[in-house]
């Protein structure tokens, strides 16, 4: 209790000696309104006994804002020159100063937000760590928001150390920005990483192995800050995958793995990259979905699962079992707990 009163006295002393600008303006406005209301009633009440405090306050507000409805006005010399004139001069000046201060505070807040200096309180959002380029970040956001599992209303927070200001194209997409080193706890705290749902760590400079070293540090800091977050990390060098797995991240995407495959398949099967692109994109065509089977699934084998998928407009490609893919399994293969169906369809499949 003693500590509470000591803190209370310290806070009260700080407020009295160094009040904020908002408190100063508010107190001055209250003082001017009180002076105008009291003075108006003092001089006008003897000649008009029906006046109330609300009338005095209304007259003060109307005079300060220069509206001048004319329904109430002082008739005595004291009411005009000792109340009306000071209220006009000081009231409009103070009100103009208050409005300009509010506008300046709003502009400063928007500028700080655009420059990544704000602290965000959103929850269940998605973090995008590093800014390799506008087109790539836009593509990631579009792909994720187009899937019902994420939803169009999900907030995104971009975290980068070098971007001076959030691009206008990202601001119009309702993307927030935090400027700072993503591997530091202070930066992650400002992005409210502890309440985030997913995180996507992009390679800052695609093609440079040094980007993988940076992503290792970011993944370590993020996993230490929030163990439950689902993290996908992009890497350049396949040799960095083992080190990234040790950080605790959930998934690793190595673009170098697919370069040779896409080149050779496009040579052997022209148009293959367009087919794969449509299957991997949630923005066009049909997509590949990996859907876990429920624990109480009544389906016995792959044949029954194929029939169920076909009834719902999906084509069964195979099963994912124990972290490995089994494509085109025999129709008589039995389903086991923990299996997931790999299908192609227009929308995410549900076996519930």
The pLDDT value recorded for residue 69 is 81
For residue 201, pLDDT over 90 is answered with: yes
Domain identity same for 146 and 192? yes
Query: In whole angstroms, what separates CA 82 from the centre of its chain?
Result: 53
What mean pLDDT is predicted for residues 277-286? 76
Distance CA 203, CA 205 (A): 6
Distance CA 130, CA 110 (A): 22
Judgement on whether residues 165 and 245 belong to the same structural domain of the protein:
yes
**44 in Cβ contact with 80 (< 8 Å):** no
C-alpha span between 250 and 201 (Å, rounded): 11
The domain boundary, picked from 237, 254, 271, lies at 254
The verdict on 325 and 246 lying in the same domain is no
pLDDT score at 104: 75
Q: What's the pLDDT at 17?
A: 57
Give the pLDDT of residue 252. 92
140 and 240 both lie in a single domain? yes
Asked if residue 318 has pLDDT above 50, the reply is yes
Q: Is residue 14 part of a domain?
A: yes
Greater confidence, 315 or 91?
Answer: 315
Same domain flag for 349 and 312: yes
For the chain, percent of residues with pLDDT exceeding 90: 36
Q: What CATH number has the domain bearing residue 45?
A: 1.10.287.70
Q: Quick check: 5 pLDDT over 60?
A: no
Least confident of 26-35, 63-72, 75-84, 329-338: 63-72
DSSP 115-127: TT-S-----S-EE
Of 106, 139, 165, the position where a domain reaches its end is 106
Q: Is the pLDDT of residue 27 over 80?
A: yes
> Are 130 and 245 in the same domain?
yes
> CB under 8 Å to 269, separation ≥6 — which residues?
none
> Where residue 240 sits, what CATH number does that domain have?
3.40.50.720
Question: Is this prediction's pTM over 0.75?
Answer: no
Q: Does some domain include residue 241?
A: yes
Give the whole-angstrom CA distance, residue 189 versus residue 172. Answer: 24
Residue 85 sits in the same domain as residue 189: no
Same domain, 249 and 350: no
Q: Between these two residues, 175 and 149, which has the higher pLDDT value?
A: 175
Residues 140 and 239 in one domain: yes
Statement to judge: residues 130 and 234 lie in one domain: yes
Round to whole Å and give the CA distance between 241 and 255: 11
* pLDDT tens digits, 70-101: 888 888 888 888 988 888 888 878 888 888 87
Distance CA 166, CA 90 (A): 41
In a domain, 70, yes or no: yes
- Asked, for residue 1, whether it belongs to a domain, the answer is no
Q: Are both 69 and 154 inside the same structural domain?
A: no
pLDDT (tens digit per residue) in 223-263: 999 888 999 999 988 888 899 999 999 999 987 777 777 78
Beta-bridged to residue 235, according to DSSP, are 254
Please state the rounded mean pLDDT for residues 158-171: 92
Assess whether pLDDT exceeds 60 at residue 161.
yes
63, 92 contact by CB (below 8 A): no
The chain-wide mean pLDDT, for the chain, equals: 86
- The total domain count for the chain is 3
* Residue 276 resides in a domain: no
Same domain, 101 and 166: no
Q: Residue 3: pLDDT above 50?
A: no
Residue 232 maps to a domain: yes
Is residue 265 domain-resident?
A: no
CATH number at residue 321: 3.30.70
Classify residue 263: in a domain, yes or no.
no
Q: Render 282-306 in DSSP notation, one character per residue.
A: SSSS-EEEEEEPPTT----BHHHHH
Domain residues for the domain of 291 are 286-352
Q: Please, which pLDDT band fits residue 159 given cuts at 50, 70 and 90?
A: very high
Rounded to whole angstroms, the Cα distance separating 173 from 177 reads: 12
Q: Quick one: 321 exposed, middle or buried, by C-beta within 10 A (0-12, 13-18, 19+)?
A: middle
- Residue 183 has a pLDDT of 94
Residues written for the chain: 352
Q: How many CB atoms lie within 10 A of CB 342?
A: 19
């Amino acid at each position: 209790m003693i500590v509470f009163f000591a803190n209370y006295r310290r806070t009260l002393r700080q407020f009295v000696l160094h009040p904020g600008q908002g408190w100063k303006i508010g107190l001055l406005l209250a003082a001017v309104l009180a002076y105008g209301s009291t003075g108006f009633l003092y001089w006008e009440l003897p000649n008009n006994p029906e006046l109330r405090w609300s009338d005095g306050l209304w007259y003060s507000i109307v005079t300060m804002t220069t509206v001048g409805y004319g329904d109430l006005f002082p008739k005595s010399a004291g009411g005009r020159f000792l109340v009306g004139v000071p209220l006009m001069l000081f009231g409009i000046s103070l009100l103009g100063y208050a409005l300009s201060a509010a506008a300046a505070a709003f502009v400063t807040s928007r500028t700080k937000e655009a420059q990544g200096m704000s602290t965000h309180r959103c929850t269940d959002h998605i973090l995008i760590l590093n800014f390799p380029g506008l087109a790539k970040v836009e593509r990631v956001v579009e792909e994720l928001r187009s899937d019902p599992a994420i939803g169009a209303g999900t907030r995104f927070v971009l975290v980068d150390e070098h971007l001076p200001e959030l691009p206008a194209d990202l601001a119009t997409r309702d993307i927030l920005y935090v400027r700072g080193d993503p591997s530091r706890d202070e930066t992650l705290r400002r992005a409210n990483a502890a309440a985030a749902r997913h995180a996507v760590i992009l390679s800052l400079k695609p093609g440079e192995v040094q980007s993988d070293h940076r992503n290792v540090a970011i993944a370590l800091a993020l996993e230490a800050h929030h163990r439950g977050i689902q993290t996908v990390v992009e890497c350049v060098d396949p040799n960095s995958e083992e080190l990234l797995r040790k950080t605790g991240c959930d998934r690793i995407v190595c673009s170098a793995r697919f370069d040779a495959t896409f080149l050779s398949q496009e040579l052997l099967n022209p148009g293959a990259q367009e087919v794969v692109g449509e299957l991997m994109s949630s923005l066009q065509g049909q997509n590949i979905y990996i859907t876990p089977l429920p624990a109480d699934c009544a389906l016995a084998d792959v044949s029954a699962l194929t029939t169920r998928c076909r009834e719902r407009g999906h084509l069964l490609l195979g099963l994912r079992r124990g972290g490995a893919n089994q494509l085109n399994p025999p129709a008589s293969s039995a389903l086991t707990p923990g299996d997931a169906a790999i299908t192609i369809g227009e929308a995410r499949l549900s076996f519930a």
